[in-house]
């Protein structure tokens, strides 16, 4: 039995030795044991490739940069704003002591005050109840002999405003200056938005050489709505009394000087707000404007 098994194995081995495995080239017989050993050796000696399986880091895309549109401005240089709330000074500069004459403005028959009846609000400037008095970087304000005295501290326009907020009105004030020259100017500021700390509004004023103008201040630029224009209604020089008035109905603004209507424009940027006075001295140092009275009528 053992011999038969041995003979069978020998015969099977001879048969295998006389065949070519598919896929192998060559005519010579290959020992299966040698072929298997060679294949195993090739597999064991193959150089493995190390694969980096760490995740690829994400690259953050930069956020787009917003382009800023350039701001268009007019040629006029911006002027400083005057805050409503002014700290009390530690040392208040002394205003001009030149005595002022009694205001006796000559009014035209067209003066709106002659037909509007009793005003809704009047301040005869006997005290500072309605005004932020004291010293600031641009102006000094004090009260003497029934006058509000607003004095410039720089050669730029400065102003102070009162507390009432009005929309449609006729507003007028009696003003004079003890000393002024040429283009020194002063006047009314009105429709100052209540939430702007006096940073915007309209300025209607006159110069000492007999011109008037209307500007709109937007917080950065002064826009001339009426360029400086000479008018005979203005009393020129120092120690003279002029009464300025503004009739504001919606976007319509009519300008009066000593009761005479001198111009009328339309502008809807500001339709209500506070009011006050401004002063700008370009020739006389510490130019001072004296206000005897201010009053207004609502819904004229």
Q: According to the model, what pLDDT value does residue 8 have?
A: 45
Question: What CATH number belongs to 112-298?
Answer: 2.60.120.560
**Cβ density class 163-188: b for 16+ within 10 Å, e for less:** ebebeebbbbbbbbbbbbeeebbbbb
Q: According to the model, what pLDDT value does residue 81 have?
A: 42
Strands 260-266 and 252-257, by their bridges, are antiparallel
Q: According to the model, what pLDDT value does residue 282 have?
A: 87
CA distance 206 to 231: 10
Domain boundaries, the chain: 112-298
Specify the DSSP class assigned to residue 114. G
Of 285, 249, 244, 282, the residue nearest 267 (C-alpha): 249
CA distance 70 to 77: 17
Q: Which alpha helices (DSSP H) does the chain contain, by range?
A: 2-17, 32-44
Which tokens hold the place of 133?
């008095």
Which tokens hold the place of 298?
């609502």
pLDDT digits (tens, 9 = 90+) for 51-68: 333 343 443 433 333 333
pLDDT digits (tens, 9 = 90+) for 80-129: 444 443 333 334 444 445 544 444 556 678 999 999 999 999 999 999 99
CB 190 within 8 A of CB 248: yes
**3-state SS, residue 246:** strand
Which tokens hold the place of 80?
């400083």
* pLDDT surpasses 80 at 158: yes
pLDDT digits (tens, 9 = 90+) for 139-156: 999 999 999 999 999 989
pLDDT digits (tens, 9 = 90+) for 178-197: 999 999 999 999 999 987 77
pLDDT digits (tens, 9 = 90+) for 232-288: 999 999 999 999 999 999 999 999 999 999 999 999 999 999 999 999 998 999 999
Q: According to the model, what pLDDT value does residue 194 have?
A: 85
Q: According to the model, what pLDDT value does residue 105 have?
A: 52
Of 77, 147, 106, 184, the residue nearest 290 (C-alpha): 147
CA distance 65 to 91: 50
At residue 257, what are phi and psi to the nearest 5 degrees?
Answer: -130, 120
pLDDT digits (tens, 9 = 90+) for 208-237: 999 999 999 999 999 999 999 999 999 999
**3-state SS, residue 66:** coil
CB-based contacts of 122-127 (< 8 A; 24+ apart in sequence): 122/293, 122/294, 122/295, 123/162, 123/293, 123/294, 123/295, 124/292, 124/293, 125/291, 125/292, 125/293, 125/294
The Cα-based distances of 152 to 34, 162, 173, 233, 255 in angstroms read 114, 18, 19, 25, 24
CA angle 199, 203, 207 (to 5 degrees): 135
């Amino acid at each position: 039995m053992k011999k038969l098994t041995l003979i069978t194995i020998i015969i099977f081995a001879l048969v295998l030795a006389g065949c070519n495995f598919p896929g192998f080239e060559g005519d010579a017989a290959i020992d299966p044991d040698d072929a298997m050993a060679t294949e195993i050796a090739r597999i064991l000696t193959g150089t493995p490739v190390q694969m980096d399986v760490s995740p690829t880091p994400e690259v953050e895309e930069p956020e787009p940069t917003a382009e800023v549109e350039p701001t268009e401005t007019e040629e006029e240089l911006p002027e400083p704003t005057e805050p409503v709330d002014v700290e009390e000074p530690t040392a208040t500069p002394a205003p001009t002591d030149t005595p002022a004459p009694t205001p006796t403005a000559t009014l035209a028959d067209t003066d709106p005050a002659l037909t509007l009846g009793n005003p809704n609000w009047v301040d005869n400037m006997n005290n500072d109840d309605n005004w932020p008095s004291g010293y600031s970087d641009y102006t000094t304000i004090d009260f003497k002999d029934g006058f509000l005295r607003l004095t410039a501290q720089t050669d730029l326009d400065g102003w102070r405003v009162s507390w009432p907020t009005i929309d449609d009105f006729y507003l007028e004030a009696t003003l004079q200056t003890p000393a002024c020259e040429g283009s020194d100017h002063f006047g009314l500021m009105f429709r100052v938005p209540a939430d702007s700390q006096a940073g915007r509004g309209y300025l209607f004023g006159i110069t000492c050489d007999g011109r008037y103008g209307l500007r709109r201040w937007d917080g950065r630029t002064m826009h001339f709505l009426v360029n400086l224009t000479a008018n005979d209604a203005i009393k020129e020089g120092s120690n003279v009394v002029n009464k300025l008035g503004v009739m504001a109905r919606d976007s319509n603004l009519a300008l009066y000087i000593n009761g005479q209507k001198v111009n009328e424009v339309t502008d809807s940027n500001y339709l209500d707000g506070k009011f006050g006075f401004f002063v700008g001295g370009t020739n006389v140092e510490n130019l001072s404007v004296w206000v005897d009275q201010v009053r207004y009528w609502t819904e004229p």
